[in-house]
Structure 1
Amino acid sequence: MRLFHTSDWHLGQNLHGQERDFEHGCFLSWLLGRLNARQPDVLLIAGDIFDTVNPPVKAQERLYDFIVNAHEQQPSLTIVMIAGNHDSGSRIELPAPLMRRLRTHALGRVLWLDDGQLDAERLLLPLPDKHGDIRAWCLALPFLRPAEVTGPILGDNYLRGIGQVHEQLIAAANRKRQPGQALIAISHAHMAGGSVSEDSERSLIIGNAEALPASLFDASVTYVALGHLHKPQKVNSEERIRYSGSPIPLSFSEIAYQHQILEINCAGEELISIEPALIPRAVNLQRVGPAPLAELLLQLNDLPNIDLLADVDRQPWLEVRVRLDEPQPDLRQQIETALQGKAVRLVRIGTEYAGKGDGEGGENDDGLIDLDQLSPQELFSRAWLDNYGSEVDEQTLKDFATLLQDVQLEGEQP
């Protein structure tokens, strides 16, 4: 059996106010071509399909057009997609009855039976090959929100609730599968030991909870397809537990590594190979600086001029980082003047001042903090410090995290 593993599409994402629809369109066209060339049996999409719980219509059209095109191109292909922490679980599941006609399974939530047992049947999906023979079972684990794994029956321990989900689902899968059938898990979570990509990953740590241990997936699981961390990587050097990473760089911190999908090959219950397929970058992200203003302006002057025959949509996104000795009221004007006629699109100016260290933490050209660079927890901590003159305590942070989850759940209603 051959499977493709991808995640963290973040359809509808903006980069400092600039939409990325062109780049997502290029990726999905490439993925269709790759599916046609390699003819996998299964496509796994491990969460954060959309960038927000209420994605723009264009982003939703991108997803559903892709699913229809993939099915028309390869009618035997099975697609499994789960909700991530950026997604609305209910929105992901809303068109599920229609998508099943296209051999696509959409899972956004976990549910519990009246006796406190996990409703495992809805999370266990048969994975047939092109001949229709079931070669594996998929354990679908969408992002587990506290409200879904805690409560009067389950208890208040978030990590323990997550552990119960994994234990019960793996046990149910082992009871269901026949000899020679693999178990393939798909999950959206922050696993302990994973390398985080700055600026573009919303924290999954709830209160004082820690990242999840890889031991949640015992040896009976052949492969674990993870989403959330944007950098492709193994978890604790385990070949079978992988993040595929995002298909496009979602922030300037993701410039340095090549984005990819993973091709997984299994023979029965055995994992045979995992091969990356590198995704062509439709639009480059480019940084200039940090450097003193005079030096920086010279560097900007050396950038390539606009080619009138070139595709404007492929011009790089540019971040400029400048070191200043004192505020420059006309800083943006000087930089924009230097960039006139240059084949780049300026999206951000970052500043740092002499004697204040690296201003990478989100300071803009006014010396202020870019709010989109701070998590809700960081904003709350800063506000607490400003108002009360002391650091926020752990219990208050935990209470805030719980309240935040409740608000996000309310916002998920389509």
Structure 2
Amino acid sequence: MRLFHTSDWHLGQNLHGQERDFEHACFLDWLLRQLAQHTPDVLLIAGDIFDTVNPPVKSQERLYNFIVSAHEQQPLLTIVMIAGNHDSGSRIELPAPLMRRLRTHALGRVLWLDDGQLDAERLLIPLPDASGEIAGWCLALPFLRPAEVTGAHLGDDYLRGIGQVHEWLIAAANAKRKPGQALIAISHAHMAGGSVSQDSERSLIIGNAEALPASLFGPSISYVALGHLHKPQKVNGEERIRYCGSPIPLSFSEIGYQHQILDIELDGESLLSVEPRLIPRAVNLQRLGPAPLADVLSQLAELPNIDLLADIQRQPWLEVRVRLDEPQPDLRQQVETALQGKAVRLVRIAAEYAGNGSREGVDGSEQLIELDQLTPQELFSRAWQESYGSEVDEQTLNDFAVLLQDVQMESEQP
């Protein structure tokens, strides 16, 4: 059996106000070509399919047009996708009855039976191979929110609830499968030891809970396809537990490595190989600085001029980082003037005082930090400090984290 592992598409994402639809369209076209060329049996999409719980119509069209196109060119392909923390679980599941006719399974939530047992049956997806025989089972684990894994039957311990869900689902899968059938887990979670990208990954740590241990996935699981962390990586060096990463760089902190999907081959229950397939970058992200203003202006002058025959949608996104010795009220004007006629698209100017590293507004008049660079917890901590003149205590932070999750769940209702 052969599988493609993808995750963190973040359809509908904006980069400092600039939409990324062209880049996502290029990725999906490339992925269709890869599916046609290599004919895997299964395509996995491990969460954060959309960037927000209420994604733009255009990004929803991208997803469903892709699914239809993939099915038309490869009718035997099985697609399994789960909701991530950026997704609305109910929205992901809404068209599920229609998508099943396209051999696509969409899982957004875990549900419980009247007797308090996990509804494991809906989370176990049969995976046929090219001959039509069931070669394995997919254990679908969408992002587990506190309200889904705590309560009367499970108690209030979030991590314990997550562990119980894994234990019950793996037990149900082992009871269902026949000899030689592989178990493939797909999960959207923050595993302990994972390397986080700055600026673009919303924290999955709830209150004082820790990142999840790899021991949740016992040796009966042949491969674990993870989503959430945007950098491709193994968990604790294990070949079979992997993040494939996002298909495009979602922030300037992600430009230093090649983005990819993973091509997995199994022989029965045995993992044979995991090979990266590198994704061409449709639009480069370019960062200049941090450097003194004079040096930055000099570097901007050396950038290539616009080619009138080139596709403007492929011009790089540019972040300029300037180190200042004193306020520069006309900083933005100087940068934009230097960029006239250049084949780049400016999306951000970040300024800081040399020596102390504090960020400045683009006019250099006061110290500012952009809101999209702060997590909700950081914003709450700053507001608490300003209001009460003291650091927020750990219990209050934990209470805030639980309330934040409740609000996010309410906003997911389509």
Q: Percent identity?
A: 83
Structure 1 position 281 matched with structure 2 position 261: no
How many Å separate the matches in 1 of 2:242 and 2:170?
18
- Deviation of the 1:326 alpha carbon: 1.0
Distance 1:363 1:271, change over 3 A: farther
Structure 1 position 212 matched with structure 2 position 212: yes
Corresponding residue of 2:83? 83
Q: Secondary structure at the match of 2:92?
A: helix
Corresponding residue of 1:148? 148
Corresponding residue of 1:117? 117
- Deviation of the 1:365 alpha carbon: 5.1
Q: Secondary structure at the match of 1:379?
A: helix
Structure 1 position 371 matched with structure 2 position 376: no
- Deviation of the 1:363 alpha carbon: 6.3
Q: Secondary structure at the match of 2:276?
A: strand
How many Å separate the matches in 1 of 2:224 and 2:330?
51
Q: CA RMSD for the aligned pairs? A: 0.9
- Deviation of the 1:221 alpha carbon: 0.1
How many Å separate the matches in 2 of 1:40 and 1:193?
30
How many Å separate the matches in 2 of 1:265 and 1:295?
50
Distance 1:119 1:257, change over 3 A: same
What's the CA shift string for 1:266-317, capped at 9, x where partnerless?
A: 0000000000000000000000111111111011000000000000000000
- Deviation of the 1:354 alpha carbon: 2.1
How many Å separate the matches in 2 of 1:60 and 1:364?
35
Corresponding residue of 2:336? 336
What's the CA shift string for 1:329-366, capped at 9, x where partnerless?
A: 1100000000000000000000110221264xx96554
Q: Which residues in structure 2 correspond to 1:283-302 (within 5 Å)?
A: 283-302=283-302
Corresponding residue of 1:348? 348
Does the CA-based 8 Å contact 2:332-2:362 persist in structure 1?
no
Q: Which residues in structure 2 correspond to 1:11-410 (within 5 Å)?
A: 11-357=11-357, 359=359, 366=364, 367-410=367-410
Could you tell me which amino acid in structure 1 is paired with residue 372 of structure 2? D
How many Å separate the matches in 2 of 1:127 and 1:363?
53
How many Å separate the matches in 1 of 2:68 and 2:257?
31
Could you tell me which amino acid in structure 1 is paired with residue 96 of structure 2? A
How many Å separate the matches in 2 of 1:35 and 1:218?
30
What's the CA shift string for 1:107-148, capped at 9, x where partnerless?
A: 000011122211100000000012210000000000000000
Does the CA-based 8 Å contact 2:44-2:79 persist in structure 1?
yes
- Deviation of the 1:84 alpha carbon: 0.1
Does the CA-based 8 Å contact 2:7-2:247 persist in structure 1?
yes
Does the CA-based 8 Å contact 2:263-2:275 persist in structure 1?
yes
How many Å separate the matches in 1 of 2:200 and 2:363?
20
Does the CA-based 8 Å contact 1:5-1:263 persist in structure 2?
yes
Q: Secondary structure at the match of 2:336?
A: helix
Does the CA-based 8 Å contact 1:143-1:187 persist in structure 2?
yes
Distance 1:365 1:169, change over 3 A: farther
How many Å separate the matches in 2 of 1:354 and 1:105?
53
How many Å separate the matches in 2 of 1:130 and 1:364?
57
Q: Secondary structure at the match of 2:308?
A: coil
Does the CA-based 8 Å contact 1:231-1:243 persist in structure 2?
yes
Distance 1:358 1:279, change over 3 A: farther
Compute the TM-score of the two structures, normalised by the length of structure 2: 0.98
- Deviation of the 1:327 alpha carbon: 1.1
Could you tell me which amino acid in structure 1 is paired with residue 275 of structure 2? E
- Deviation of the 1:152 alpha carbon: 1.7
Could you tell me which amino acid in structure 2 is paired with residue 396 of structure 1? T
Q: What are structure 2's unaligned runs of at least 5 residues?
A: none
Could you tell me which amino acid in structure 1 is paired with residue 130 of structure 2? K
Q: Give the count of matched residue pairs.
A: 412
Does the CA-based 8 Å contact 1:180-1:269 persist in structure 2?
yes
Does the CA-based 8 Å contact 1:284-1:316 persist in structure 2?
yes
Does the CA-based 8 Å contact 1:264-1:274 persist in structure 2?
yes
Does the CA-based 8 Å contact 2:331-2:362 persist in structure 1?
no
How many Å separate the matches in 1 of 2:36 and 2:334?
49
How many Å separate the matches in 1 of 2:252 and 2:231?
13
How many Å separate the matches in 2 of 1:225 and 1:354?
43
- Deviation of the 1:199 alpha carbon: 0.3
How many Å separate the matches in 1 of 2:56 and 2:363?
30
Q: Secondary structure at the match of 1:72?
A: helix
How many Å separate the matches in 2 of 1:356 and 1:385?
21
Q: What are structure 1's unaligned runs of at least 5 residues?
A: none
How many Å separate the matches in 1 of 2:27 and 2:114?
43
How many Å separate the matches in 2 of 1:348 and 1:195?
25
How many Å separate the matches in 2 of 1:257 and 1:25?
21
Q: Secondary structure at the match of 1:53?
A: coil
Q: Secondary structure at the match of 1:399?
A: helix
Could you tell me which amino acid in structure 2 is paired with residue 221 of structure 1? I
Q: Secondary structure at the match of 1:409?
A: helix
